[in-house]
Amino acid sequence: MKIKQKNMFFKILSVVIFFFLFTNLIIVEAAEPTLFFSEYLEGSGNNKALEIFNPTCNDIQLADEGYKILMYFNGNTTSSLTVNLTGVIPSRGTYVIATNTSDSNILQRANQTNNSSWFNGDDAIVLMKNSEVIDVFGKVGEDPGTSWGDPGAKTHDRTLVRKSNIVAGNTDIYADFHPSDEWIFYPIDTYVNLGSHEYNSFTITFDLMGKGEVVSGNLIQELYYGDEIIAPVIKPLNGFNFISWSSVFSTVTGNTTIEAQYDSWTKPSVYFSKYVEGSNNNKALEIYNATSSSIDLSLEEYKVLIYFNGNTNPTTTINLNGILAPGETFVLAQNTSNSTLLAYANQTSSLNWFNGNDAVVLTKNGDVLDRIGQVGNNPGNEWGKGMVTTMDKTLVRKSFVSEGDKNTTSLFFPEIQWESYPIDTFNVLGTHISEYFKVTFNISSLGTVESGEVFQTLYSGMSAIAPSVNAVETHDFNGWDKSFDSISGDIIVNALYSPKIFTIIFNTDGGSNIEPIIQGYGSAIVLPASPTKEGFNFIDWDDSFPDTMPLNGLTLNAIWEAKEYTITFDTKGGSAINPIVAPYQSNITIPEDPTKEGYKFLGWDISFPDTMPLNGLNLTALWEDLNKDTPNTIDNFNIIIYFGMLILSAIAFVVTYKKIKFSKR
C-alpha cells in the first residue's frame, strides 16, 4: 500500500517537474495578497498619518496577526519607533493611524493614534506582519536629506496616495525609492482621501470559444488582486468535448483571459465513469461502455496504468479481464477495500493503487482512451479545488461526457467533467448515465446485414450510418421507415421490404389468349377462365396452379385434346364405305373407291383431305352411267346446230345494217 505523501518536499518537487515539463503552459497563480500602505501624510506641525489598505477578501485582526509599523529615522538601519497595530481592518477597507496631536480633521478619520514622535519626509517606514516585511515607504539605511523624490514630487510637506493599479507592497527595504513610480502627490495637509482608497479591479474572462454554454457562474468576473478565481460550470455544445482550460488559475494577478479547450466529438467510447479515492485502502475505478458492442477486455488488451507522484512512466499496470456489455459498467477495486466497496467489484487487484495526486490512464491495445489527472505532474495532494478534488472523494463523470480525455499531459481540472461526492460514497457504482443516444436498425427476417452496425451509439444531433442490407430472394429492400439524421433520442429504425414482382405466363398453344398475372411474391392469385381452341377440348395446364405467387413466377402450358370428327361417304347406291372417325387434324387415309354395277366411279364431290378437317365431311360419290348410247355423237350434233344458228344470226345483222344505211342517203 502506497502511503499518501503530503509534505512540502513533494509540493516543491511537483512544481519543479511541472516547470521543466510544461513551460509552454501559462500559469495564473498569485501570492496571497497582503496589506500595504495606501496613503502617507507628512503635513504641517504634527500632522502625520498613514493609511493601510486591506486588498484581501477577509477582515483582519491586526493585533492577533502581529501587524506593526516600524520607523527608521535619518537613515538609521535600526528602527527608532515601533507602533503595534490594534483593531480590525475590513476586507477591501482602510485603517488610518495618526499622531495624537494631528489636526482634528485627521483625527476624525483615524482608527488608531500614537503619541510618539513620528517620521519626517526623510524617514523610512516599514509595515510588518510578525517578522515579515510586507511594505516599505522610503529606503532603510538611506537619509535623502529632506525628502525622497523631485521638488514637485517629494515626501516632505505632501500627502501621497498610492496609485490605484498598485496591488501589493514592496518588500525590499533596501531598494532605491522613487515615490513617483507608485504614488500620486497632493498639497500639504490634504486629508480628504484618508479613510478610503481607490483600488483597481481586474477582469477575468472565460472564453468558451463558441463551443460551450454556461450552466452556472459568470464568464466575465470583476475581481481584485489576490481574489480566488472560480471557473463557471460549462457544458459543451453538440459536437465537442470540454476537456480543459488554457491555464491554471487560482488567484487574481491581473486582467486574464482563460480559454476553454475542446476535442471534437468522434463517437461514444469506453471511459472512466467513477473514481473512488476513499479512506484507508478504499480505491476503485468504474469503466463504462458507451459503444454499441460487447468488449472482451482481455482480448482487446484493456489496461489501467497508474503514474505515481508525477512520474512519466507507469508505476502500476493492471490488465483487465471480463466482458463489458454495451451500456454497462465494469468496476475495478483494490483487493483490500472494505466489503461494501468490494461488493460492487467485477475485478480486484493487489497492486499498488493511486492517491489523489497520482494520474490514472485507461488504454486499449496501447492506445489511450481516458485519463484522470495529468501525467508528469504532481499537484501536491490533489488536483482540483473546493469540493471537486481527487483526494478523499468519490467522483462521478458528468452525463454530457460520453468519451474519454486522451490528452494525458494537458492541464487537468476535475470540476470540468466530474461531480464530487463525499469520501467513501460507493452506492453510485455499478450504473452510469450518459447523454448519448442509441440507434437500432431492425433488419427483420427478410434481410441480412452485409456490412455496418445494426446497433449504434451517437451524440445528440449526430446522424447514424445505415448498415448495408441484402434482402432475401423473395423481396426487395426499400430503405428505412424513418430518418436517422440529427437524432435527439433513442430510436428503432425498421427496414422496409416489398415482395418481388413475378409473372405467371399462360401458353395456350394457339388457343384463346390469357393475359399474364403480374403480382408480388406470396400474394393471392385467382385461376383465370380456361382457354378455348377450335377443334380441341381444354384438358388442364401442365403444372398445378398455385394459390399465391410463387418465387420466380411460372409458365403454364395448356394441355389440349383434339375433338373427334366423322367423314361420311354417300356412295349413291354404290358399295358402302364405313365412316372415318378420327381426331381433328389427325392423319386419315382415303378408303378404297366404291363400286356400282353399270357405273364408273369418277371420284368424290369434295377432295379427300390428308387430315381430319374441322367438323368432319360428307363426301358424295360421282358416277358415270356406262349403259347410255353414244352420248358423244348426240352432244356433237347439238354443238353443230348451235354454231350454225350463230352464223345465220350474224348474216342477218349485216344485211339489215346495210339497208338502213342506204335509205339515209
Q: DSSP secondary structure string, 129-188?
A: ETTEEEEEES-TT---SS-SEETTEESSSEEEEE-TT--S----TTS---GGGTEEEE-T
**Are the C-beta atoms of residues 332 and 351 closer than 8 Å to each other?**
no
C-alpha dihedral (495, 499, 501, 502), degrees to nearest 10: 140
Rg (CA), the chain: 59
Q: What is the C-alpha to C-alpha distance for residues 572 and 592, in angstroms, rounded to an integer?
A: 15
All cell numbers assigned to 558: 395448356
**Which ranges of the chain have pLDDT less than 50?**
1-30, 630-634, 637, 660-665
CA atoms of 33 and 53, how far apart (whole Å): 11
pLDDT digits (tens, 9 = 90+) for 304-363: 999 999 999 999 999 999 999 999 999 999 999 999 999 999 999 999 999 999 999 999
Residue 435 pLDDT = 87
**pLDDT for residue 225:** 85
CA–CA gap between residue 131 and residue 126 (Å, rounded): 11
**Exposed, middle or buried: residue 404 (CB in 10 Å: 0-12, 13-18, 19+)?**
buried
Query: pLDDT value at position 662?
Result: 43
Structural domains of the chain, with CATH? 36-186 (no CATH), 202-261 (no CATH), 266-421 (2.60.40), 437-499 (2.60.40), 501-562 (2.60.40.4270), 564-625 (2.60.40.4270)
Residue with cell string 454556461: 214
- Phi and psi of 652, rounded to 5°? -60, -40
- Dihedral angle over CA of 208, 211, 216, 222, nearest 10: 10
What is the predicted pLDDT for the residue at 647? 75
Write the CA distances from 620 to 268, 435, 605, integer angstroms. 101, 104, 5
Q: Which three cell numbers stand for residue 161?
A: 496616495
Euclidean distance between CA atoms 529 and 341, whole angstroms:
81
DSSP strand pairing (202-207 vs 256-264): parallel
Q: Are 304 and 395 in contact (CB under 8 A)?
A: no
pLDDT at 654: 55
Taking only the tens place, the pLDDT of each residue in 257-270 is 999 999 988 889 99
Q: Is-contact 456 490, C-beta < 8 A?
A: no
- HSE (CB half, 13 Å, CA atoms) of 390? 25
pTM above 0.85, yes or no: no
Rounded to 5°, the CA angle 242-380-360 comes to 50
